[in-house]
A = this chain, B = another copy of it.
Amino acid sequence: MTVWTKIYVLEEPKLEKPILIQGLPGLGFVGKLTVTYLIDELGLKPFARLYSTHLTLLDGSTGIQINSNGTFFLPKFEFYAYNQKKPNIIFLTGDTQPTIYGQYEVAEHVLDFVQKYGCEKIIAVGGFQTPFERELGKVYGVFNKPHLGEELKSLGVSITRSGAITGACGIILGLGDQRNLESVGLLGATKGEYPDMEAAREVLKVVTKILGLEINLEKLNREIIEMKRRLESLHRIQTEAIGQITREFRRGPSPFYV
């Protein structure tokens, strides 16, 4: 019982050789933002949920997250099915990444699950951290079969030629390759300092071309402007909160307790 990974199917989808698109929280939240935007634009509901003792909260502690209505949930992955057009797609996103010791186990459960629906190709999307302004806006790619590399180049993707892809994005590709699935990684260059919707937009442009999806990016463009507003506003709130805590502390604790 010690460690486990469980997938609950809410509703069996009809899928034919679906492509898996995985985007989880990571550098600049590029992967999660990309997949979440696609799910929202296509109006999809989750058809399965994955829970695991290897999924912790984002800060690494075990526990539950609280919803705005007072209910709560264990950290989870969610699967969404799209079967309106060819290729069919399974989208995978989630609240968190597995712990370093659970990455292999969780990725293997994911692959076992999507292969039951006939999956033969996986695309993992994420962020690529760079300190260089000139690299922002670029999408970097890795792949495991020569024809995938040609496809990426024809879409304007920069082929990555060194380094490593860590975390869930790297492991699903490594295990996908081991199972001989077509495996493509798409990484949006990001400074990684905040949820980077501009990096996600560039990845979205590539992903939608590969999948033959027509997705309106207007909402994303508006959200990028909105995000910039929110970041400014967050700055203000933080500044105020720090001021308030400082004032509380200045008042000091009640004389009895400390």
A-side residues, CB < 8 A to B, are 1-4, 51, 53, 56-57, 60-74, 100-105, 108-109, 131-133, 141-144, 149, 152, 159-167, 169-171, 173-175, 177-178, 185, 191, 193-194, 228, 231-232, 245, 248-249, 251, 253, 256-258
Contact = CB atoms under 8 A, between A and B. Distances in A.
A1 B232 CA distance: 46
Nearest to A61: B166
Contacts of A160: 66, 70
Contacts of A142: 64, 66, 70-72
A51 B103 CA distance: 14
Number of copies: 4
A188 to B, nearest CB: 15
Given A64-B171, A71-B143, A257-B231, A51 B100 contact: no
A147 B212 CA distance: 45
A56 B104 CA distance: 11
B257 A66 contact: no
B131 A245 contact: yes
Contacts of A193: 257-258
Contacts of A166: 57, 61-63
Contacts of A141: 70
Interface centre among A3, A104, A144, A165 (most CB of B within 10 A): A104
A66 B142 CA distance: 8
A241 to B, nearest CB: 10
B143 A70 contact: yes
A62 B103 contact: yes
Contacts of A258: 193
Contacts of A109: 1
Given A1-B108, A133-B248, A143-B71, A163 B257 contact: no
Interface centre among A70, A108, A164, A171 (most CB of B within 10 A): A70
Nearest to A6: B178
Contacts of A191: 253, 257
Nearest to A167: B63
Contacts of A231: 257
Given A70-B159, A149-B69, A171-B63, A105 B164 contact: no
Given A165-B64, A167-B63, A72 B177 contact: yes
Contact of A66 (B101, B164, B167): B164
